[in-house]
Chains A and B, each alone.
Chain A
């Protein structure tokens, strides 16, 4: 059963705590992404990685960190520096589609709340 698996589905963070969201894919995709979605809003890019051991900041990287040690895995850490972490976090990976451009495919998301 191929796809993108995000865990946990729900996560609670205490004040001053770092938390890590997991994203695993078995699609053999090179590129992976992390987005944040707030209620009634579109997706905003946090970080992306086009290849193992390399990643770039997106539009809202402050307060977040990532690693890409394996092709299959792209974990996101929400640090204590992120003052407003409550959101729905989406991980994606991409492959080239029939039009020659990369299509992003998404996991089911992790909903993070602050206690």
Chain B
């Protein structure tokens, strides 16, 4: 989930298991959500997106679930691999092109 301050929440997952990264968003008027992956020292990389009129969307090895009732978004990664190790950000689109980013969750893969 999201946190305040310098210390990111960390999720540790065994290689091969599924990962679930959670995000609580702030604005009930947000109509579009995106997940980004950021590896150390690099820019964020787009993973998957979803509109507010959808509950679920699947990509390659990833699924995003949206629960508008509780303003909650999750990213599921199937069969987690060492290359999935990164910080994952959720972002919400409130109006126009403006996107608000969450503070991120660090995914750590255990061998």
Contact = CB atoms under 8 A, between A and B. Distances in A.
Nearest to A50: B97
A109 B41 contact: yes
B8 A40 contact: yes
Interface of A is mostly: strand
Contact of B97 (A6, A31, A90): A31
A50 B96 CA distance: 11
Contact of A103 (B6, B7, B34, B101): B34
B102 A42 contact: yes
Contacts of A108: 41-43
A43 B74 CA distance: 19
B93 interface: yes
A77 interface: no
A115 to B, nearest CB: 21
Interface string A24-56: 000000010001000111111100101000000
Interface residues of B, number: 25
A52 to B, nearest CB: 16
A90 B45 CA distance: 12
Nearest to A9: B41
B78 to A, nearest CB: 21
Contacts of A105: 46
21 contacts: A6-B43, A31-B97, A40-B6, A40-B7, A40-B103, A41-B6, A42-B89, A43-B44, A43-B89, A50-B97, A94-B97, A99-B32, A101-B93, A103-B34, A103-B46, A104-B34, A104-B46, A105-B46, A106-B44, A107-B43, A109-B42
Interface of B: 5-8, 32, 34, 36, 41-46, 49-51, 89, 93, 97-99, 101-104
Interface of A: 4, 6, 31, 35, 39-45, 48, 50, 90, 92, 94, 97, 99-109
